[in-house]
Amino acid sequence: MALTAAVLLLVALMAIELLRTAGIGPDTFVVTILETALVAALIAGFFFLYVQEHSGVSELSQTATHETERSQRLSAILALGDEVRTTLDVDKVVATVADAVSATLDFRENAIYLLDTEREAYVAKAAVGGDADYNQDILGRSIPQHVVEGLIRDEFRRGNCYFVDHTTYEWTEEELFYFPSGDFECAGPGCFHPEDGLFVPLLDHEEHMLGLFDVYNPEDGLLPSATTLQMLEILANVAASAIENARYGEAMRQLAITDGLTGLYNHRHFQEMLGNEVERAERYGLTFTLLMMDLDLFKTVNDRLGHPRGDEALREVAAVLTREARASDFVARYGGEEFVMILPGTSSKQATAAAERVRAGVRAIALPVPEPPALSISIGVADFPTCGRERESLIAAADTALLFAKRAGRDMVMRFADASLADVDAQMLEALAFHLENADIETAETFANAVELRDGFGGNHSLAVAESVTRMLDELELDEVENQMMRLAALIYDIGKIGVPVDVLNARGELGSEQLDAIRQHPEIGKQLIESTVRLARTIPAVLHHHERWDGTGYPDGMKGEEIPISARVIAICDSYEAMISDRPYRTALTKDEALAELRHESGKQFDPDLVERFIACLPDDASAGKVAKGPAQATHEAPPDAKGAQKPKRDAPPTDEVLPASDVPPPSAEPEAEE
């Protein structure tokens, strides 16, 4: 305006000047006034131009700042999208998004709730802002579905956000219980009030609500702008997409580890979880137990009722297992009609009680058919670390116990440590060798201890033999590999007795030729059991030849002198000595002097004479002095006491399973007659 006036004045001045030149213009005073007005108009015009330009520059600056902030927020949202898109953990997605909302949009408090359809409630999965205790209180809090969705109504809608204005809406008592007012002050009109609420629904690809943003108390104190609401919508879309993706990934993973028929975990996931449990127990010195379960004669159920009814039976069994399992237990279908259960922090004795409940539960299953078949289950029990320290060895132990449960009559629970009392035939031995293929040292040792129980006298004979062997190793000066092999061999050398009938092992009196043949097969049986087991194969010479004799009259190969592996010669001496100084039901233990005298008597005949002296030299002075009762040990078929109760070796009797002097034989009756 001022600039226009200045221009008009300038034109007027020019016109006056022309008139004056022609001698007809106004006087000097008028001209002066017009010039002054012209200068003032020019100054005002230029000032106006300056103000207008400055305003434009300021506006452009504000626009640039706004666009920069918007660009930064969009960049942050894009980075967030890249981060959560590849995350398959829903909780991690939610926590990351909640942090982004707080950092990007400057809200002091925000929480994210996800819908739990089973509970019909929205559950807080993330909370940011406030103090740590408050955030912890928020996490896990559930709000009834109808309360949340009651606030997502059209009257509050602003785009895809929902703003509850305290000036136009009065919260219900129930709503205030779940969304209480904050303790900050409102700065006045146009500012966020403690009784206001701002919610952004998280919608899946079908526009179904799967969660909710609850944002509160903006740092600038102002009501949310259109830009802020737009950014919240974008963040909500990113979060909903990432949550859907994570849930889909979790569903796919769950599908990959779940048995489709029973709903239990599958074989592959069991192997993974067992490996993890072994590692955890090893690291922290814990124990756990593995149950291996197999339905008995299940083929008959399928044959009689058909596979659909058989599948129904498997689902019923799975329901029993799920019902009996604790929250910390792991249950899976191993394959076919086999199931497994891992029980952390549980001894084999405690696990056996749980297994009995499972067995009873399976027996109680009644299929909805006329005259339903009786279902039963056999269960093998093996615990860590007693029965094995590796995944494969524990499976081998539990599977072996299951094999014996089947052999013992089915529908029973068998601990691996007790899997010894059933007689086995050639087919059973072949299966047993297969089951022990992946056994480790602990598995083999536990099984060998169990085999000792077949003799009926119990005890810790193999442990005593192992102690004697360990003492001799210092005298022999072997390399460490040989020492380790001999220590292991001393624990499992009689493992082949699993193939000898229990009645033969516990026979009293003279053994017949068939009984002797059965006993003399146990070294070969032991070899068959361990030869395919990588960790135990190096003990085969000791296991196979510990009944050879120095004079060549032993078995199974009739080796003589130093042809006999040194490990077998050492074990023969230690085995005999520990047997002689142990009590038996039919005789008391020999004294140390009596046992040593017997070893020297057989030196050069049954035993390596040099090793006999080395063995005697390494005995501690008080070792087994007098009559030392080691407790019941394995059956030795030793000679009966004479009429006065003194031990009298029966050297003319045929040799039996023991390397004791010429195979003494226990008495045939409770009142043995004195020998001639």
337 in active site: yes
SS (H, E, C) 199-232: EEEEECCCCCEEEEEEEEEECCCECCCHHHHHHH
What is the layout of strands, in order, in the sheet containing 330-335?
A: 330-335, 338-344, 288-295, 377-384, 413-415
Q: 337, 442, 452, 658: which is the annotated catalytic residue?
A: 337
Residue with structure tokens 């952390």?
Answer: 344
CA–CA separation, 554 and 657 (whole Å): 10
Give the three-class secondary structure for 377: strand
Task: Sort 363 into a burial class: Cβ within 10 Å, 0-12 / 13-18 / 19+.
Answer: middle
DSSP E strand stretches across 377-461: 377-384, 413-415
Is-contact 353 316, C-beta < 8 A? Answer: no
Residue 424 CA, chain-centre distance (Å), reads 35
CA–CA separation, 632 and 648 (whole Å): 20
CA–CA separation, 35 and 52 (whole Å): 26
CA–CA separation, 379 and 357 (whole Å): 11
CA–CA separation, 92 and 85 (whole Å): 11
φ/ψ region of 558 (left if φ > 0, alpha if ψ in -120 to 50, else beta) reads left
CA–CA separation, 542 and 213 (whole Å): 72
Is-contact 455 462, C-beta < 8 A? Answer: no
Residues marked active site are found at: 337
